[in-house]
């Protein structure tokens, strides 16, 4: 019998910088994105589910989860970023503000005549590519998507249904990003729409992060309606775009006294955690195959825009083995009596598994105390995807799958 892999964590001791990127995640900017998304006929506010009985069981005051499985019928939050970035690009090319190009304008014959057709390229582990493909398809644009090895046929087929050209490459995620970027550069009217940033490519990733702000502004309003001011926010990260957007928003929202904010990563792709351990402000990349059940978090190179926000505003970084996510999926799917069920996929559930581990396992008492988690804590989580890969979801929820090596939980 193998020893179960442990959580690894570090508090944030990185020297503060000029903190220039956080202003792009202001309340005003995020609300602009929300106004754009509300122009879509498919738009509705996703649920904020309060798990009162689980909170009591864990010893917390309140526990909420923003359930993104309902987003635009795509079972994940990613479409928020891709759609907003495409709209911002089209608006910029036409010399307009994004407020002048709502859904009705973007899908009009008049806009097609003025703008024509571009090809939007992206790389993805699944949800981002599907979101970009969906938005491009709805807006009459072309889309090319490259996915890394290990991508399931279900994820590939979901993207292909949106009239995108999509392939599975014998490359990891970060190399797929480089491939797609080169193709976009060599294609007439080719545009890279990627949810990560690097030197020289930061405008579109910033727009994508602002698009993710729609879920943050919704959650903020929903919490306020329930009389809650969150004391803790746990947010998952691949390249860090969602984490940077959420932490950036709440850092602006509560400038004087922000919540305690924690970043959770897949242990096989924990570039942010490793960067935080190094603690000199520079990024540390993770290379190789990065095998993890958390496919959407299998990214080894941090978004430069997000990293600037996280190193200034995140309180802790946690590297999570696969069992943390698998446990989170099962907790959501088998709620305590009286709580609502949440269908949360492997990249959406890691923060639930983390909070459960901190509140129930004595070996993580030091981190729990460092974060001041206890009976006065009001905690916000984001379930960023539903069962986007239904077969994998059932392997975890029904068969006890706990990692990419197919070992059930009982064998670890």
Q: What is the pLDDT of residues 265-282, one digit of tens each?
A: 999 999 999 999 999 999
Query: What is the count of structural domains for the chain?
Result: 2
**For residue 299, what pLDDT is reported?**
92
307 and 271 assigned to the same domain: yes
Q: Note whether 315 and 260 are within 8 A (CB).
A: yes
Residue 84 and residue 92 in contact, taking contact as beta carbons nearer than 8 Å: no
User: Could you tell me if residue 323 is inside a domain?
Assistant: yes
- Looking at the structure, tell me whether residues 258 and 402 fall in a common domain: yes
The fraction of the chain above a pLDDT of 90, given in percent, is 91
Q: Does position 404 have pLDDT exceeding 90, yes or no?
A: no
Question: Is 165 inside a domain boundary?
Answer: yes
Q: Where a domain ends, among 141, 159, 194?
A: 194
- Return the pLDDT at 407: 52
Condensed to tens digits (0 to 9), the pLDDT of residues 225-251 reads 999 999 999 999 999 999 999 999 999
Residues 337, 349: Cα–Cα separation, whole Å: 20
Give the helix, strand, coil percentages of the chain, each rounded to 5: 45, 15, 40
pLDDT tens-digit readout, 16-26: 999 999 999 99
Residue 42 maps to a domain: yes
Specify whether 153 is located in the same domain as 282. no
User: Which of the four pLDDT bands, split at 50, 70 and 90, describes residue 402?
Assistant: confident
- 2 in a structural domain: no
* Residues 86, 14 within the same domain: no
96 and 56 in a single domain? The answer is: no
Instruction: State yes or no: pLDDT of 1 exceeds 50.
Output: no
The candidate with the shortest Cα–Cα distance to 232, out of 245, 221, 223, is 223
| CB 385, CB 131: distance < 8 Å | no
Residue 236 lies in a domain: yes
- Which region, left, alpha or beta, applies to residue 19 given φ > 0 means left and ψ of -120 to 50 means alpha? left
pTM: 0.94
Strands 260-266 and 316-320: parallel
Classify residue 3: in a domain, yes or no. Answer: no
- Considering the domain architecture, whether residues 211 and 325 belong to the same structural domain is answered as yes
Write the DSSP string, 193-260. --SS-BTTB-HHHHHHHHHHHHHHHHHHHHHHHTT---SEEEEEESSSHHHHHHHHHHHHHTSSSPPE
Residue 78 appears among annotated catalytic residues: yes
Confidence check: pLDDT of 2 > 70: no
Domain assignment present for 301? yes
Question: How high is the pLDDT of residue 195?
Answer: 87
Catalytic residue among 66, 67, 125, 339: 125
Taking 60 as the threshold, does the pLDDT of residue 406 lie above it? no
Q: Do 384 and 239 fall within a single domain?
A: yes
The reply to whether 249 and 383 lie within a common domain is yes
Same domain for 162 and 294, yes or no, is no
Q: Residue 365 sits in a domain of what CATH number?
A: 3.40.50.1100
The whole domain housing 180 covers: 79-194
Asked if residue 117 and residue 165 are part of one domain, the reply reads yes
Question: d(Cα 93, Cα 294) in Å, to the nearest integer?
Answer: 36
125 a catalytic residue: yes
Domain end among 144, 173, 194: 194
Whether the per-residue pLDDT at 412 is higher than 60: the answer is no
pLDDT digits (tens, 9 = 90+) for 42-95: 999 999 999 999 999 999 999 999 999 999 999 999 999 999 999 999 999 999
Domain boundary (194, 229, 247) is at: 194
Q: CA distances (Å), 319 to each of 13, 265, 313, 316, 324, in order?
A: 16, 5, 18, 10, 10
Looking at every residue in the chain, the average pLDDT score rounds to: 94
Asked whether residue 1 is assigned to any structural domain, the reply reads no
Whether residue 405 has pLDDT greater than 70: no
Active-site residue, selected from the candidate residues 3, 16, 61, 78: 78
**In this structure, are 261 and 377 located in the same domain?**
yes
221 and 334 co-located in one domain? yes
pLDDT at 409: 44
């Amino acid at each position: 019998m193998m020893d179960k892999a442990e959580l690894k964590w570090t508090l944030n001791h990185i020297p503060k910088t000029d903190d220039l990127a956080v202003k792009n995640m202001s309340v005003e900017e995020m609300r602009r994105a929300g106004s754009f998304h509300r122009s879509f006929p498919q738009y509705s506010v996703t649920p904020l589910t309060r798990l009162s009985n689980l909170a009591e069981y864990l010893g917390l005051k309140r526990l909420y989860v923003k359930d993104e499985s309902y987003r635009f019928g795509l079972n994940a939050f990613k479409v928020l970023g891709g759609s907003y970035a495409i709209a911002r690009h089209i608006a910029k090319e036409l010399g307009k503000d994004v407020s002048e190009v709502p859904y009705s304008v973007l899908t009009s014959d008049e806009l097609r005549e003025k703008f024509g057709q571009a090809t939007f390229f992206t790389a993805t582990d699944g949800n981002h590519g599907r979101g970009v493909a969906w938005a491009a398809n709805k807006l009459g644009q072309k889309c090319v998507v490259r996915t890394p090895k290990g991508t399931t046929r279900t994820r590939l087929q979901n993207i292909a249904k949106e009239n995108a050209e999509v392939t599975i490459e014998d490359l990891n995620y970060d190399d797929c990003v480089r491939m797609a970027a080169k193709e976009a550069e060599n294609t007439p009217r080719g545009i890279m729409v990627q949810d990560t940033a690097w030197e020289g490519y930061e405008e579109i990733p910033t727009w994508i992060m602002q698009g993710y702000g729609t879920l943050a502004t919704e959650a903020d309003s929903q919490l306020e309606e329930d009389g809650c001011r969150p004391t803790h926010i746990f947010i998952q990260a691949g390249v860090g775009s969602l984490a940077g957007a959420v932490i950036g928003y709440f850092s602006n929202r509560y400038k004087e006294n922000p919540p305690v904010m924690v970043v959770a990563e897949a242990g096989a792709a924990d570039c942010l955690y490793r960067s935080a351990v190094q603690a000199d402000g520079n990024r540390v990349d993770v290379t190789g195959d990065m095998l993890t059940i958390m496919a959407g978090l299998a990214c080894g190179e941090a978004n430069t825009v997000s990293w600037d926000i996280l190193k200034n505003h995140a309180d802790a970084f946690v590297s999570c083995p696969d069992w943390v996510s698998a446990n989170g999926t099962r907790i959501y799917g088998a709620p305590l009596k009286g709580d609502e069920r949440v269908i949360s996929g492997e990249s959406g559930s890691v923060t639930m598994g983390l909070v459960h581990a901190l509140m129930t396992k004595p070996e993580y008492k030091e981190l729990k105390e460092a974060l001041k988690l206890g009976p006065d804590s009001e905690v916000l989580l984001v379930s960023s995807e539903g069962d986007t890969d239904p077969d994998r979801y059932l392997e975890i929820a029904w068969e006890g799958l706990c990692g990419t090596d197919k070992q059930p939980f009982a064998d670890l």
